[in-house]
Amino acid sequence: MADSANTVDAKAFTSFAAFYPFYLSEHSNRTCRRLHFVGSSLGLVCLALAIVLRQPWWVALGLLLGYAFAWIGHFGFEHNKPASFQRPLYSFMGDWKMYAQMCSGRIPL
Protein backbone atom coordinates (compact mmCIF):
# COMPACT_ATOMS: atom_id res chain seq x y z
CA MET A 1 0.00 0.00 0.00
CA ALA A 2 1.27 3.47 -0.85
CA ASP A 3 1.95 5.99 1.84
CA SER A 4 -1.45 7.61 2.29
CA ALA A 5 0.11 10.56 4.09
CA ASN A 6 1.11 11.81 0.64
CA THR A 7 -2.47 11.83 -0.65
CA VAL A 8 -4.61 12.64 2.40
CA ASP A 9 -3.84 15.29 5.00
CA ALA A 10 -5.03 13.84 8.31
CA LYS A 11 -4.97 17.36 9.78
CA ALA A 12 -7.77 18.39 7.40
CA PHE A 13 -10.43 16.37 9.24
CA THR A 14 -12.62 18.55 11.46
CA SER A 15 -14.39 15.75 13.33
CA PHE A 16 -13.64 12.26 14.55
CA ALA A 17 -16.61 10.95 12.54
CA ALA A 18 -14.98 12.25 9.36
CA PHE A 19 -11.53 11.03 10.40
CA TYR A 20 -12.47 7.44 11.32
CA PRO A 21 -13.07 6.11 7.75
CA PHE A 22 -9.61 7.45 6.85
CA TYR A 23 -8.21 5.82 9.99
CA LEU A 24 -9.69 2.46 8.95
CA SER A 25 -8.26 2.82 5.44
CA GLU A 26 -4.83 3.19 7.05
CA HIS A 27 -5.36 -0.22 8.72
CA SER A 28 -6.33 -2.41 5.78
CA ASN A 29 -3.49 -4.88 6.38
CA ARG A 30 -4.61 -7.67 8.69
CA THR A 31 -1.20 -8.09 10.33
CA CYS A 32 -1.11 -4.38 11.11
CA ARG A 33 -4.56 -4.62 12.74
CA ARG A 34 -3.49 -7.69 14.72
CA LEU A 35 -0.39 -5.89 15.99
CA HIS A 36 -2.60 -2.97 17.05
CA PHE A 37 -4.85 -5.43 18.87
CA VAL A 38 -1.91 -7.02 20.70
CA GLY A 39 -0.45 -3.63 21.63
CA SER A 40 -3.78 -2.32 22.88
CA SER A 41 -4.40 -5.50 24.87
CA LEU A 42 -0.98 -5.24 26.49
CA GLY A 43 -1.73 -1.59 27.24
CA LEU A 44 -4.92 -2.58 29.05
CA VAL A 45 -3.07 -5.25 31.03
CA CYS A 46 -0.47 -2.66 32.05
CA LEU A 47 -3.20 -0.21 33.05
CA ALA A 48 -4.81 -2.89 35.23
CA LEU A 49 -1.44 -3.67 36.81
CA ALA A 50 -0.85 0.03 37.49
CA ILE A 51 -4.17 0.21 39.34
CA VAL A 52 -3.85 -3.07 41.23
CA LEU A 53 -0.19 -2.63 42.16
CA ARG A 54 -0.46 1.14 42.59
CA GLN A 55 2.64 1.61 40.47
CA PRO A 56 2.08 4.28 37.79
CA TRP A 57 5.12 3.31 35.75
CA TRP A 58 2.99 0.46 34.33
CA VAL A 59 0.98 3.12 32.46
CA ALA A 60 4.14 4.32 30.73
CA LEU A 61 5.05 0.75 29.82
CA GLY A 62 1.53 0.19 28.46
CA LEU A 63 1.78 3.27 26.23
CA LEU A 64 5.23 2.22 25.04
CA LEU A 65 4.07 -1.30 24.18
CA GLY A 66 0.86 -0.11 22.54
CA TYR A 67 2.62 2.33 20.25
CA ALA A 68 5.56 0.01 19.56
CA PHE A 69 3.28 -2.75 18.27
CA ALA A 70 1.20 -0.27 16.25
CA TRP A 71 4.23 1.35 14.65
CA ILE A 72 5.75 -2.02 13.75
CA GLY A 73 2.44 -2.77 12.03
CA HIS A 74 2.50 0.48 10.07
CA PHE A 75 6.15 0.56 9.06
CA GLY A 76 6.62 -3.19 8.60
CA PHE A 77 3.31 -4.33 7.12
CA GLU A 78 1.00 -1.46 6.19
CA HIS A 79 3.89 0.62 4.78
CA ASN A 80 2.46 3.96 5.84
CA LYS A 81 3.02 6.52 8.56
CA PRO A 82 0.82 6.23 11.66
CA ALA A 83 -1.97 8.81 11.76
CA SER A 84 -0.85 9.58 15.31
CA PHE A 85 1.96 11.65 13.82
CA GLN A 86 -0.59 14.19 12.51
CA ARG A 87 -3.74 13.63 14.61
CA PRO A 88 -2.70 12.10 17.94
CA LEU A 89 -6.06 12.49 19.72
CA TYR A 90 -8.22 11.27 16.82
CA SER A 91 -5.76 8.44 16.24
CA PHE A 92 -5.90 7.39 19.91
CA MET A 93 -9.71 7.47 19.75
CA GLY A 94 -9.58 5.47 16.52
CA ASP A 95 -7.35 2.85 18.13
CA TRP A 96 -9.96 2.16 20.81
CA LYS A 97 -12.94 2.27 18.45
CA MET A 98 -11.20 -0.18 16.12
CA TYR A 99 -10.24 -2.33 19.13
CA ALA A 100 -13.87 -2.48 20.26
CA GLN A 101 -14.99 -3.34 16.74
CA MET A 102 -12.39 -6.10 16.53
CA CYS A 103 -13.57 -7.46 19.88
CA SER A 104 -17.18 -7.45 18.68
CA GLY A 105 -16.31 -9.08 15.33
CA ARG A 106 -17.27 -6.05 13.21
CA ILE A 107 -13.68 -5.81 11.98
CA PRO A 108 -11.85 -9.08 11.32
CA LEU A 109 -8.76 -9.87 13.34
pLDDT tens for each residue of the chain, 109 residues long: 444 445 788 889 999 999 999 999 999 999 999 999 999 999 999 999 999 999 999 999 999 999 999 999 999 999 999 988 999 999 999 999 999 999 999 999 9
This prediction's pTM: 0.89
Domain residues of the chain, as ranges?
31-109
**Contacts of 15-20 spanning 24+ positions with Cβ under 8 A:** 16/90, 16/93, 16/94, 19/83, 19/87, 19/90, 19/94, 20/90, 20/94, 20/97
Give the containing element (helix H, strand E) for 72. Answer: helix 57-73
d(CA 27, CA 81): 11
> What is the DSSP secondary structure assignment for residue 77, as one 8-state letter?
I
